[in-house]
Amino acid sequence: MNPDEIPDNWDAPQRILVILAHPDDPEFFCGGTIARWTLAGHQVAYCLLTCGDKGTKDRSLTSAALCSLRQEEQRAAAAILGVHDVRFLDYPDGYLVPDMNLRKEITRVIRQEQPDILVTCDPTNLYVRETYLNHPDHRAAGQATLDAVFPAARDHLYFIELWRDEQLEPHIVREVWISLPRDPDVSVDITDHWDLKLRALSEHRSQIGDRAQLEERMRSRHTPDSSLEKPRYEEYFKRLVLE
Ligand SMILES: [Zn+2]
């Protein structure tokens, strides 16, 4: 591929902020790309809107215990991918709605982190490959995050208390990368980062069940133009370059 056509061929280190709903979303949706970016010298931070406190079938686990377990798992997974900071906004798992309060909290994080590139997920994606429904939290996270990028993070009079009382300057995000997209227009080759993605995913022990089965299932997701013997892997995005 012509280097000009490689979408993440930025000529300087970028500040990248990943805002998603649950622990394990970053690794499942775009873990290979995150590894590729940190290894290329870009600085990646995560903001998870919930701690995934409903994601279990274990009836002996309380939401509070699951929350701290999943935060630990998320920090371990992020460390494997070279992510420098992980924060949680502690909204209840499963109840996320893109209201003004969530938009304001995300706006605060964007103004604090000042990312060049922001990664979130697709609020219009109702189902994936006709085989499963997209989690409503994923749609809510994508909607609230896009609404925070524009116009709330950009203009000081939105949530004026952030600027007036917390001295948080307005911020313009240059690119938005939408993971789990309904209509992808960018594919990132993550073949060289596949093992790191799997290692990071396997840190989410409360979610993945048997690790060998996970690896087998994941390995079958090679690109159609490659084979199990010589696989190539990609992650897909909708990329917006904002003016
Ligand atoms: Zn999720």
pLDDT (tens digit, 9 = 90+) per residue, 35-83?
A: 999 999 999 999 999 999 998 999 999 999 999 999 999 999 999 999 9
Taking the whole predicted model, whether its pTM rises above 0.85 is answered as yes
Query: In which band, very low, low, confident or very high, does the pLDDT at 1 lie, cut at 50, 70 and 90?
Result: low
Across 80-94, 107-121, 123-137, least confident range: 123-137
Q: How far is the CA of 24 from the centre of ligand 1 (A)?
A: 7
CB burial class (10 A; 0-12, 13-18, 19+) of residue 59? exposed
Q: How far is the CA of 25 from the centre of ligand 1 (A)?
A: 5
Q: How far is the CA of 115 from the centre of ligand 1 (A)?
A: 22
Q: How far is the CA of 137 from the centre of ligand 1 (A)?
A: 7
Q: How far is the CA of 81 from the centre of ligand 1 (A)?
A: 18
**% of the chain surpassing 90 pLDDT:** 91
Output b/e per residue, 196-219; b: 16+ Cβ within 10 A: bbbbbbbbbebbbeeeeebbeebe
Q: How far is the CA of 134 from the centre of ligand 1 (A)?
A: 9
How many residues are there in the chain? 243
List of residues 6+ apart from 205 with CB closer than 8 A? 73
Q: How far is the CA of 22 from the centre of ligand 1 (A)?
A: 5
Under 8 Å between Cβ of 170 and 153: yes
Q: How far is the CA of 45 from the centre of ligand 1 (A)?
A: 17
Q: How far is the CA of 138 from the centre of ligand 1 (A)?
A: 6
Q: How far is the CA of 67 from the centre of ligand 1 (A)?
A: 14
Query: In which band, very low, low, confident or very high, does the pLDDT at 128 lie, cut at 50, 70 and 90?
Result: confident
Structure confidence by residue, pLDDT tens digits, 161-187: 999 999 999 999 999 999 999 999 999
Q: How far is the CA of 20 from the centre of ligand 1 (A)?
A: 8
Q: Is the pLDDT of residue 199 over 90?
A: yes
The average confidence (pLDDT) of the chain is 95
Integer Cα distance of 187 and 164 in angstroms: 41
